[in-house]
C-alpha cells in the first residue's frame, strides 16, 4: 500500500506540469470601455482558465494602435472598432472578426456634449467648432459624421480633434474643445460639466457592432480551437454578468479606472458574441460613403469561422 501511495504521488506530481502546459497562452489588447466587460469578467472569474485559456489583458495605449499590435505580435487578439478592422483590410492587413461584445443602439448613455453655458443646442451649431473624438477616422468619428450628415450638416465644416475618453471632461471644462462625444462609463463624468445636443448612437441600425475582437486571418485559421474557447468564455461571462451585476461593476472599476460612483450609475450595454455578415456590411457601406476605404470586401469572408 505504501508503494502504491508513493506511485500515486509521483504520477500526480507529474500530471500538474502537463495540465499547466495544456493552457493556451493568449494576449488580449483591450480598450477601457463597458462594451468589453465580458472579457474583464472572463479573466477575473476564471472563465478563460476553465476553457483552457491563459489570457493576459493589456491596456490599449490608444485606439489607433490596435492593429499595429497585431502586426508587431504584441497581441493575438485586439479590440479595435469594427470600422478599424475593415480599414486594416483595405490597407493590406488581412484581419478577421473573432467575436463581438456590445451592440447599439442600447440602453447605455452616449451623446455629443457641450459645456454648460456654451449656448450651443443643435448639430448646426457645431459648424466651425472643435469636436473631440477618441481617434480620427475610426468608429466614434465616423458615427459623429454620419449623425451630422443626417442632421443636414456638412461635416467637412466641423473640426475634429483626438482626445481620450478619460480626458474628455477635463478638456471640455477647460474650453479646449467645444464638444466631445462621450460614452459609458465616461458619460456621467462629462455630464457633470455639460449637456448633450444629440446622440449619434440612437440613429444606428439595430444590433450595430460597437465592441469587437479581431485577429489576423493567419492566426485565426491556425487556432480554431482557441477561437472557439474564447467565444465560449465570452458567452459564459455574459451570462455571469446577467446574474452578478455587483461583480460586473467591480470589474469595470478595475479595468476602466473610473470612480465607483460613476460605474454604479453607468448603464450596462447590450452584449452578444457572434458577428453576422450584415453587421459587417453596415460598416463597409459607411466606410465607402465617407471615403475611408477604396475596396469593397466580402463581409462574410471577414468573419473567422
Q: Which three cell numbers stand for residue 271?
A: 452584449
**CATH no. for residue 217?**
3.40.190.10
Number of domains into which the chain is organized: 2
SS3 111: strand
Domain holding 142, by residue range, is 110-203
Q: In this structure, are 196 and 259 located in the same domain?
A: no
CB 236 within 8 A of CB 93: no
Q: At what angle do helices 37-44 and 245-256 cross, to 10 degrees?
A: 100
Last residue of a domain, one of 176, 203, 230: 203
CA distance 76 to 249: 26
pTM of the model: 0.81
The domain boundary, picked from 139, 174, 203, lies at 203
pLDDT in tens, the chain (305 residues): 444 444 444 434 444 443 444 789 999 999 888 889 999 999 999 999 999 999 999 987 766 678 888 888 889 999 988 998 999 999 999 999 999 988 887 777 889 999 999 999 999 999 999 999 988 888 889 999 999 999 999 999 999 999 988 899 999 999 999 999 998 878 889 999 999 999 998 888 989 998 899 999 999 999 999 999 999 999 999 999 999 999 999 999 999 888 898 888 888 888 999 999 999 999 999 999 999 999 999 999 999 99
Q: Is 164 found in the same domain as 114?
A: yes
Same domain, 97 and 217: yes
Considering the domain architecture, whether residues 138 and 70 belong to the same structural domain is answered as no
The domain boundary, picked from 203, 218, 237, lies at 203
Same domain, 152 and 216: no
Same domain, 197 and 55: no
Residues 12 and 97 in one domain: yes
Same domain assignment for residues 211 and 199? no
Residues 90 and 57 in one domain: yes
Residues 96 and 211 in one domain: yes
**Do 211 and 297 fall within a single domain?**
yes
Residues 223, 255: one domain?
A: yes
Cα separations (Å) of 172 from 110, 147, 148, 206?
16, 20, 20, 30
Amino acid at each position: 500500500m505504501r508503494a502504491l501511495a508513493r506511485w500515486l504521488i509521483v504520477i500526480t506530481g507529474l500530471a500538474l506540469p502537463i495540465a499547466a502546459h495544456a493552457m493556451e497562452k493568449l494576449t488580449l489588447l483591450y480598450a477601457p470601455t463597458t462594451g468589453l466587460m465580458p472579457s474583464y469578467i472572463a479573466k477575473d472569474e476564471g472563465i478563460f482558465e476553465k476553457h483552457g485559456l491563459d489570457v493576459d489583458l493589456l491596456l490599449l495605449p490608444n485606439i489607433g494602435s490596435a492593429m499595429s499590435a497585431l502586426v508587431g505580435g504584441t497581441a493575438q487578439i485586439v479590440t479595435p472598432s469594427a470600422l478599424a478592422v475593415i480599414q486594416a483590410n483595405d490597407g493590406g492587413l488581412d484581419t478577421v472578426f473573432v467575436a463581438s461584445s456590445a451592440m447599439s443602439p442600447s440602453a447605455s448613455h452616449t451623446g455629443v456634449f457641450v459645456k454648460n453655458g456654451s449656448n450651443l443646442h443643435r448639430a448646426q451649431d457645431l459648424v466651425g467648432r472643435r469636436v473631440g473624438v477618441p481617434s480620427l477616422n475610426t468608429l466614434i468619428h465616423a458615427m459623429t459624421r454620419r449623425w451630422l450628415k443626417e442632421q443636414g450638416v456638412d461635416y467637412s465644416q466641423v473640426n475634429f480633434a483626438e482626445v481620450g475618453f478619460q480626458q474628455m471632461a477635463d478638456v471640455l471644462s477647460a474650453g479646449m474643445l467645444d464638444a466631445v462625444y462621450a460614452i459609458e462609463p465616461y458619460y456621467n463624468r462629462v455630464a457633470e460639466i455639460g449637456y448633450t445636443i444629440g446622440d449619434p448612437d440612437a440613429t444606428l441600425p439595430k444590433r450595430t457592432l460597437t465592441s469587437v475582437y479581431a485577429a489576423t486571418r493567419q492566426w485565426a485559421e491556425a487556432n480554431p480551437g482557441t477561437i472557439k474557447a474564447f467565444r465560449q468564455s465570452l458567452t459564459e461571462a455574459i451570462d455571469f454578468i446577467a446574474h452578478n451585476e455587483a461583480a460586473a461593476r467591480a470589474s469595470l472599476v478595475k479595468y476602466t479606472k473610473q470612480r465607483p460612483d460613476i460605474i454604479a450609475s453607468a448603464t450596462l450595454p447590450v452584449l452578444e458574441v457572434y458577428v453576422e455578415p450584415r453587421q459587417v456590411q453596415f460598416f463597409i457601406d459607411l466606410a465607402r460613403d465617407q471615403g475611408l476605404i477604396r475596396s469593397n470586401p466580402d463581409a462574410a469572408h471577414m468573419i473567422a469561422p
